[in-house]
Amino acid sequence: MSDKTLIDLSWDDFDEHRDPRSNENQFDTVVEKAISRRGFLGGALAFGSGAAVFGTGLFSSTTLAQAAGHEKFAFEPIDIATDFEVHVPAGYAHDILVRWGDPLWSEANGAYSAETGVSVAMSDKVFGENTDGMELFDVDGKEVIAVNSEYVNPKINLPADSEGTPQSADEVTLLKNLQGVTVMEIARGDAGYQVVVDSPLNRRITHETQMVLSGPLAGHALVQTHADPEGMTVKGTMNNCGSGRTLWDTYLTCEENFNGYFGATGAEPTGESYSRYGIGGEGRYAYELFDPRYDISVEPNEPHRHGFVTEINPADPTSTPVKRTALGRFKHENAEMVHAKDGRVVVYMGDDERGEYLYKFVSNGVWEVGTDGGALLDDGTLFVAKFNDDMTGEWLPLTPETTGMEAAEILCFTRMAASAAGGTTMDRPEWVAANPLKVEAYCALTNNKNRGVSPNAGGDDTSVNAPNPRETNNYGQIVRWTPADENHASDSFGWDLYVMAGNPTIYDNAYAGSDNINPGNMFNSPDGMAFDSQGMLWIQTDGDYKNEGDFAGMGNNQMLVGDPESGEIIRFMTVPNGAEVTGLCWNLDKTVAFVGVQHPAGSWPDGNGKPRSSVVAVWREDGAVIG
């Protein structure tokens, strides 16, 4: 396969191209299970532990919600869309806050060209491409957003004759600079919210920004390189997907598909520690041809220095970002931090790959309100989730005793530790969101075409299981759990499925979805999630937008709002065809929501030239609180 087609693959298909999965699952067993349940479930296939999966109130939720008459929803649901526009409910308005290529400093005014994009000289002075997770901070009364730029589309950013592959070190630098993180002050004026160009708080963090490693893996032989023989400093945070915020108001950026940036020009290291993470062969952007740091035949340990949760202080543009190794190394989606009842800090984290795991970190120390808790993130225990069929679950600690691995190895090769400990393989864990009004948390399991078909990259069985009950799951579901003793730090929980997406206009079995899915709110592939201060769950999708076949009636990607109590879910927003909706935060008075639109197609939002990933501001025309 040429580089041209390689770059056209989605990030999840990229891995399977490099490391094809064999159909090693005991397929006969899966079919047997499915058939044995068919009678019980009246035709539903591969339904896991069956109806027991659906928790309190879910099947009766529609009725309850209808009786409530949308009480908790301050808008009328909108229809699907298939066009190249953003749509919000009647009585709401929206505008662009910032687009890829917009200046953060006045020297970059006019840096973006509709024909050629952004030059390498200006590439670290503008808003990056493919916006993702974001959080808004109050910095001495100023509103500051920290926001990820997950990846770049090289066909949009490089000259047409390059066919999407960098031809020079300069072109690699251009791509490196348009990814990472942007910190930017915003302010509300007559024309609504705008970026404060030249604010001293503005900052770009790229694949080349100097950072430090902290936690038990820092200094270990596994993270030592030619440039950093001590294994303590590292350049860059990459493939910044979801986000999180600490209790002490710093930003957490989560490194997801970091593996795709590394390649080999010569003999490459082999073994499960590379194959499990999809590291090897050609890099997605040919970085390795122009920068030996990304060449694993030269620097086999460099990939061990990425795939972490990185902490950034948005209030201090001179601060050094810190890679928190104690939170483990995997394809981090987001990092949802909560203050447990016993005072410890808990961080929930998904590993977004088919058949990988859901994790949490629990600090050893307790956090005191008003203090900087950064050091708490260097000292604690990682756990992997195990979901039982009886709707209970356990957090299994990842320790030398449970994994047979050394403590530092557990943090570097966390996936292998989770397999050894016996976690439950999941349908691509994306964002985790914790309810601010109740001790419970939710994880979007976006989809998994390999469920019941082939194992994960470590060869772990991915037959249907209770929280992932459908084989070839193209729709996704959201699992939620309630920690024992109302303590997020406790080691057991009860769980149910909040929603199982599906298409009731096509199916009358498990693929129709749960009872809170109907022809009016259908969606697929839940991904981003955040709770607002009212305890409502905002759900963003990154799914199939063909609007045909299994996905007929679902339209473009969308953002919905769910009521955790009734189960009711209604559609708030649709984004342009081609785009996913990802990243959500609110301004300080919660009258404006900022929503990320990633990888739009057509020429949105300018109406001419290239499509530009953007952050959109959404508000109620009467100025009421919306979050």
> Could you list the residues that contact ligand FEO (CB under 6 A)?
150, 241, 256, 333, 352, 430
- Asked if 255 touches Ca ion (CB under 5 A), the answer is no
C-alpha to C-alpha distance for 364 and 344, rounded to whole angstroms: 7
Residue closer to Ca ion by CB (options 430, 568) is: 430
- Cα–Cα separations (whole angstroms), residue 605 to 382, 475, 551, 589, 599: 42, 28, 25, 27, 11
- Asked if 353 touches Ca ion (CB under 5 A), the answer is no
State the minimum distance, in angstroms, from the CB of residue 579 to ligand FEO: 14
Secondary structure class of 53 (helix, strand, coil): helix
C-alpha to C-alpha distance for 230 and 251, rounded to whole angstroms: 26
- Asked if 542 touches Ca ion (CB under 5 A), the answer is yes
- Asked if 409 touches Ca ion (CB under 5 A), the answer is no
Residue closer to ligand FEO by CB (options 130, 514) is: 130
Residue closer to ligand FEO by CB (options 135, 150) is: 150
User: How many secondary structure helices (H) and strands (E) does the chain include?
Assistant: 11, 28
Task: Return the DSSP state at 297.
Answer: T
430 within 8 A of 242, measured Cβ to Cβ? yes
State the minimum distance, in angstroms, from the CB of residue 334 to ligand FEO: 9
Q: Which residue is associated with the tokens 């490391």?
A: 19
Residue closer to ligand FEO by CB (options 514, 541) is: 541
Residue closer to ligand FEO by CB (options 257, 462) is: 257
**From the list ligand FEO, Ca ion, none, partner contacted by residue 256 (C-beta under 5 to 8 A by kind):** ligand FEO
C-alpha to C-alpha distance for 495 and 467, rounded to whole angstroms: 9
Residue closer to ligand FEO by CB (options 186, 241) is: 241
Residue closer to Ca ion by CB (options 102, 430) is: 430
State the minimum distance, in angstroms, from the CB of residue 352 to Ca ion: 7
**From the list ligand FEO, Ca ion, none, partner contacted by residue 440 (C-beta under 5 to 8 A by kind):** none
State the minimum distance, in angstroms, from the CB of residue 404 to Ca ion: 32
Q: Which amino acid is at 479?
A: V
From 61-69, 300-308, 404-412, 427-435, give the range in contact with Ca ion by CB under 5 A: 427-435
State the minimum distance, in angstroms, from the CB of residue 517 to ligand FEO: 22
C-alpha to C-alpha distance for 537 and 564, rounded to whole angstroms: 7
Residue closer to ligand FEO by CB (options 186, 539) is: 539
Q: Which two tokens stand for residue 615?
A: 């952050």
- Cα–Cα separations (whole angstroms), residue 136 to 288, 384, 441, 498, 625: 35, 29, 21, 27, 16
**From the list Ca ion, ligand FEO, none, partner contacted by residue 515 (C-beta under 5 to 8 A by kind):** none
State the minimum distance, in angstroms, from the CB of residue 93 to Ca ion: 26
Compute how many residues bind Ca ion; rule: CB under 5 A. Answer: 3
Q: What angle do CA 431, 440, 132 make, to 5 degrees?
A: 15
**From the list ligand FEO, Ca ion, none, partner contacted by residue 356 (C-beta under 5 to 8 A by kind):** none
- Asked if 527 touches Ca ion (CB under 5 A), the answer is yes
Secondary structure percentages of the chain, helix, strand, coil, to 5: 20, 30, 50
List of residues 6+ apart from 506 with CB closer than 8 A: 512, 550, 552
State the residues that interact with Ca ion by CB under 5 A.
Answer: 430, 527, 542
